[in-house]
Structure 1
Amino acid sequence: MNNKKKILFRADANYGIGSGDLISLINLSEYFAPEYECFFIAKKYPSAVNIFSVRGMKDNAVLIDPKIEFTDEITFIDNFIEEKKIGIIVLEITERKLNEYDRLESTVKRISIDFYGYPLRESSIVLNWMPNAEDLYDFSSFPQTQFFLGPEYVILSKAFLDVPRGEIERKYVLVAMGGNDERNLTMKVVRLLMQIGVPDIKVIIGPGYKWKQELISILPAKIEVKENVIDMLSEYLSAKVVISTGGLISSEVVFTNTPLVVIATYPHQIARCKFFQSIGVARYIGYIDFDERALADSVLNYSDIFSGRNILKPKILEFIKAVKEIV
């Protein structure tokens, strides 16, 4: 008989929103296994299918039709919760206001991973790792809710909690523009790096990147391209500089004490990028149309620009403890 506690995670990964929502909930699930049985519901977009497949998670992942009506999705989730006897549902949805899921009828404990100030009304816990998170909520409207707010609460994989702090051999400039990179910033950044003569470049592309063959065709053989990398920590720790977007990757990088050059690709990322720059852990070079001179300067002079940086301390374990206490 299976007496494990059960958690349901609901997030998506697609070309429009990227992969960070789903990846962060997969990261989160690491803290509950094997004590808890973890389930995922995601829409059947190619990026999500790829993510689950690469990680061998097909058995616990339920994929629903991307065109499903919202009312039907709500019914599906309610039925799934009842069938599997779920104790907690964790939602990280950015395609619609998160509080639209207040329509769920189940009395299951609800946890909101929220970035816009619209958590589920009856959330037991709200987590928001934006730097301006405290400005988004009327706390009097959520008297029974615990809040975990600020960049220190980013959902990092367990491996990031024990990052080596000694001398590490830094080998290359790493370009990692997220799971989908729908604007193909990877191509633009790599072309610039080659133009300014950066000798050692490594490129990581995600499950939704559409220009793989075109990218490979312009690269010399010595530039390595890796796809769907699970162990990103090792890649960050081997990099002299990481160039990324302002999504989950940027938060991961700053916790490794690796110099970061960051480009915002969605409006909500701008505040995060500016915050990282303000505390000395990154250089923010623009929103989509980035400053090419700033990028070149950051890469060529990284040892001067990033010396003596501050290091944020992860607090995700405080959140995990609170989640385990509500069941």
Structure 2
Amino acid sequence: MKYKKKIIFRADGNSKTGLGHLYRIFALIEMLKENYEYVLITRADSELIIIPKSYSVEVIPSKISITEEPDWLLEKYETTNSIVIADGYAYDSNYQKSIKKVGYKLIYIDDLTATEMFADVVINHSLVVKPEHFKAKPETEFALGSHYAMLRPKFIEIAKKSKQPSNVKEVFVSFGGADFYDLTSKAVRALTNLNYVKKIHVLIGAANKHKNIYKIEEENSNVVIHKNLPEAEVLDVMEKCQLAIVPSSTISYEVCSVKMLVICGYFIDNQELIYNGLREKKVIFPAGDFTHYDVIRFERVINEAIELDMTEQNEMLRNQKTLFDGNQKERFLDIINRIN
């Protein structure tokens, strides 16, 4: 059954901002599209190629500024019949106040706990954030922690399953849609120096402009580049692997849901809260700040992680299973229904 209210999903993603905000919105669309009409609103400089063709999409004209957006939305979508879900750093206190002022209900997806919140509901899926970390109105609701992880449906399902550790033969590497520091090439180059690694699967986003990784693929028959894969194919690739090297963004939650040895760090501010939570819960091998990494340091950390005994790895996989219970869709539906 479809409810009458429409959800306006608002996010952008490109080589400057990364693609994480869009991918989280995609996850929410998949959870909610059976129950609600929706539209994805994005700007023309977003990587439109990654948006599934089946989605209802509207592109904001370039002449419309961020401050003009609320009035532009108001001309197109009635406030009584619409809820806005926004994911991105441009939607600060002023934007939130403007959206509320024109009459919309607002859900804001946060990473930084930095801006004053005026949204009806704030979502932050870090494992360490609490309501007291925010400056917000007394009536603001919070949806915090891995129970509100914005995972795509197939990852929610596989998260319910258990898995045993095994020797590392295939490795999954991904540093997000943009990979500002070309960390992908450095990590993959390190892996090609390790004889026990038989295959290296590299997932690259549409916003990745670096060319080094293609040269590495040409030189090494065990390196396979995957680009802009749909959800099911991403999962298939991950399931082949016993080790992942990823940043502490949503993709770290995805590899934890699949369950494997995970080398995880951060390279931008918005990843630190998730990183701290994953480290505290002992579900990753903590790598710290990736911006200081070169090939040699990647090689050293990979070897350190591999040397963990099976007991330690098994505990890590058991801890990963506790993060996600598979009920995220029901929780998000409950939030939407409640503020209707």
Q: Deviations 1:257-286 (Å, cap 9, x if unpaired)?
A: 222111201123123213212222101212
Provide the TM-score with structure 1 as the length reference. Answer: 0.87
1:4 and 1:35 in contact (8 A); partners too: no
| Structure 1 residues 235 and 320, CA gap change in structure 2 (3 angstroms) | farther
Task: Give the residue type in structure 2 aligned to 1:147.
Answer: F
Task: Give the residue type in structure 2 aligned to 1:318.
Answer: R
2:12 and 2:42 in contact (8 A); partners too: yes
2-structure distance, mates of 1:234, 1:66: 38
Aligned residue for 1:147?
142
The 10-residue stretch of structure 1 (247-256 or 306-315) with the greater mean CA deviation from structure 2: 306-315
Q: CA deviation at 1:86?
A: 4.2
| Structure 1 residues 190 and 166, CA gap change in structure 2 (3 angstroms) | closer
1-structure distance, mates of 2:116, 2:259: 32
Task: Give the residue type in structure 1 aligned to 2:331.
Answer: E
Identity of aligned residues (%): 24
1:11 and 1:21 in contact (8 A); partners too: yes
Q: CA deviation at 1:174?
A: 0.5
5+ residue gaps, structure 1: none
- Give yes or no for the alignment of 1:128 onto 2:90: no
1:236 and 1:258 in contact (8 A); partners too: no
Q: CA deviation at 1:9?
A: 0.4
5+ residue gaps, structure 2: none
Q: What secondary structure is seen at the aligned counterpart in 2 of 1:14?
A: coil
Task: Give the residue type in structure 1 aligned to 2:259.
Answer: N
Count of aligned pairs between the two proteins: 317
| Structure 1 residues 277 and 166, CA gap change in structure 2 (3 angstroms) | closer
1-structure distance, mates of 2:223, 2:39: 38
- Give yes or no for the alignment of 1:313 onto 2:329: no
Provide the TM-score with structure 2 as the length reference. Answer: 0.83
Q: CA deviation at 1:210?
A: 0.8
| Structure 1 residues 211 and 136, CA gap change in structure 2 (3 angstroms) | same
Q: Which of residues 76, 79, 87 is equivalent to 1:80?
A: 76
Aligned residue for 2:170?
172
2-structure distance, mates of 1:240, 1:72: 48
- Give yes or no for the alignment of 1:112 onto 2:108: yes
2-structure distance, mates of 1:86, 1:181: 38
1:168 and 1:238 in contact (8 A); partners too: no
| Structure 1 residues 296 and 262, CA gap change in structure 2 (3 angstroms) | same
Task: Give the residue type in structure 1 aligned to 2:339.
Answer: I
Task: Give the residue type in structure 1 aligned to 2:152.
Answer: S
Q: CA deviation at 1:243?
A: 0.6
Q: CA deviation at 1:253?
A: 1.7
| Structure 1 residues 96 and 90, CA gap change in structure 2 (3 angstroms) | closer
| Structure 1 residues 179 and 299, CA gap change in structure 2 (3 angstroms) | farther
Q: What secondary structure is seen at the aligned counterpart in 1 of 2:258?
A: coil
2-structure distance, mates of 1:252, 1:99: 33
| Structure 1 residues 320 and 302, CA gap change in structure 2 (3 angstroms) | farther
Q: Deviations 1:231-260 (Å, cap 9, x if unpaired)?
A: 233332221011111111112222222221
1-structure distance, mates of 2:92, 2:123: 15
Aligned residue for 1:322?
335
Q: What secondary structure is seen at the aligned counterpart in 2 of 1:70?
A: coil
Task: Give the residue type in structure 2 aligned to 1:27.
Answer: A
Task: Give the residue type in structure 1 aligned to 2:110.
Answer: D
| Structure 1 residues 274 and 3, CA gap change in structure 2 (3 angstroms) | closer
The 10-residue stretch of structure 1 (306-315 or 220-229) with the greater mean CA deviation from structure 2: 306-315
1:99 and 1:119 in contact (8 A); partners too: no
Q: CA deviation at 1:218?
A: 2.1
2-structure distance, mates of 1:5, 1:305: 48
Q: Deviations 1:74-112 (Å, cap 9, x if unpaired)?
A: 322222323x97421101112452553311243122111
